[in-house]
Structure 1
Amino acid sequence: MVDAVRASASKMQGMKAALDARAKELDALKVQLESERQDLEKRAARLEGERRAIEGDREEVRAARASADHDLATIRADRANLSAEQSRFQDAANDLGAREKALREAEINVERLDQEMIGRMREAEAKFLAIVNREEELVNLQRDWLVAFETREQELRTITEQMRARNEESSELHGSLAHLESIFRDETDRLAAQRRELAAKEESLLQAQRYLATVLEGADVGPREAERPSPPPADEPPAPTESPPPPMPISAATVPEPVEAENTPEPEPRPTVARAEAMDRLTRAVEAWKRSRDSGRNVGEMRNTLKIAKDALQAGKYETAIRLATKVLDDLQPAVLAR
């Protein structure tokens, strides 16, 4: 055990000696590397200086080349400018010749214009003298115009006063006209109301006339059917005769009240009354004729008389219609009494 320890101790010492030797070698190697590193740094610094010197030389070469190119471009530009200047000088020489020619023509024109101006100045002087004379005449005319204007102004002032008086009179007339207009409007409204009443009465008369025409047409058809009666069958009883429709009542037209207005003509109600009376008579005559016909009486001639009365009524011959209707009523007096 002790031998082993001794052996290990000796071994450890050998290893320590080896390590020390190795450390010394490393230190020597480190010193050598440090010296080599310093040499390399010096070489790198020297190379960097040389590189910078080369870059400077290269920049100088580039600058020299650029300067040479610039000089060449300048030479070319100078040559082009020289050509342009030469052509411009040639153009300037041509322009100078043209200007000299234009100046000679301008001198000739100036001389001609001088002559014309002298002539115009003489004409203007003559016109100025004429204007001076005309101005004297205008002064005289202006004086006359002022006198006439003052006279006219006095007349206008008088006319204005007259117009003011007439305006006052027209205002008064306008007031009276407004009053008359209100009166006329009231009268017009009353006449319109009366016209509406007359229109209503006219409508009733037209309805009565339509009824009368219907009755007369029925009267025309009745005799024709009576002339060709169809015999009823033996087994069936005879059909009862239809009773005629009751006559339409005709309202007697009233005479409208007279309109009390200035210069307004009163309506004449007499034709309306005569027409209503004629229609009433004719309606009663037709009713009596129908009853007589239904009772079996021969009334063919009276039908023609009724037609004539109807035509007279439509033509406005009311007196003729009344006379014929009265004649028929007198002939058919029993039928009228039976009614």
Structure 2
Amino acid sequence: MSTEQAQPFLVDAVRASASKMQGMKAALDARAKELDALRAQLDSERQDLEKRAARLEAERRTIDGERDEVRVARASVDQDLATIRADRENLSVEQARLQDAANDLAAREKALREAESNVERLDHEMIGRMREADAKFLAIVNREEELFKLQQDWLVAFETREQELRTITEQMHVRQEESTELHESLAHLGSVFKDETDRLAAQRQELAAKEESLLEAQRYLATVIEAADVGPREAERPSPPPADEPPAPTESPPPPMPIVASTAPEPVEAENTPEPEERPAVTRAEAMDRLTRAIEAWKRARDNGRNVGEMRNTLKLAKEALQAGKYESAIRLATEVLDDLQSAVIVR
């Protein structure tokens, strides 16, 4: 019975030891797993450390390169510091120059303020002058209105005078026709006078031939008288007295010669006298015709609404010149008016 009682106890012990062994095995397995995990972690950390060592080596090399660069940079910085010192000195000089420029600028600002005050004063003066100019302009406008009224009155008077001029022009045309007829009659008289002059010239030539023959007779008588003084025989000649009879009438022809000479210029004056009378008549008619055409053109331009106030004075001067007998001036002024009107029409 003791053996039977001891066997369950052993079984329990064995079971307990087996379970304990299983627990220890499980703990060992877990510990092995932890060790494997630690080993893997250590391997990874070792790899990280190797990588860090390589990185540190690269960084050390980089630091060495950067150290060299720092040395070079320090040298350049030293140079830059020297340059900065020089620049600082230059800046001090520039600062002094800028101070002087600031002083000049302040003086200029002061001058500008004074100029602005002067400009404001001039503006006030200009405003006053502009107001005065406006007042004067209004006075001029009123004056122009008065002048326009006077111009209208003058135009009415001018139209009246124009009608009178037309009447005078018609009368002048009639007189021109009469002067033309008179000119034709004077031309006929001139031809008759020319024939008479030719006849008188022929008579004058005949008288000149007679005078030459008388002079030859006088020379002959002088020769005979000289021969009579030479000898007594020649003194008995009574022929000279009958020969003296022709010289007596020969002395009378010289008075007719001046008469003929005096009559000859008279026809010349008669020929010249109609010419000055004829020219003024024709010139006056031409001047009247030209002035009439200029006045008609001026009226047409005025009726069309054009500004022809300046041409009115020119027409007035032309009319005064015509009345004073200055026909060339009247024609010239009327021609200027016609040319101005024609050029204005071409421009339009």
TM over 0.5: no
Which structure would you say has the larger RCO, counting Cα contacts within 8 Å and 6 or more residues apart? Answer: 2
TM-score (norm 2): 0.38
The two structures have a TM-score, normalised by structure 1, of 0.39
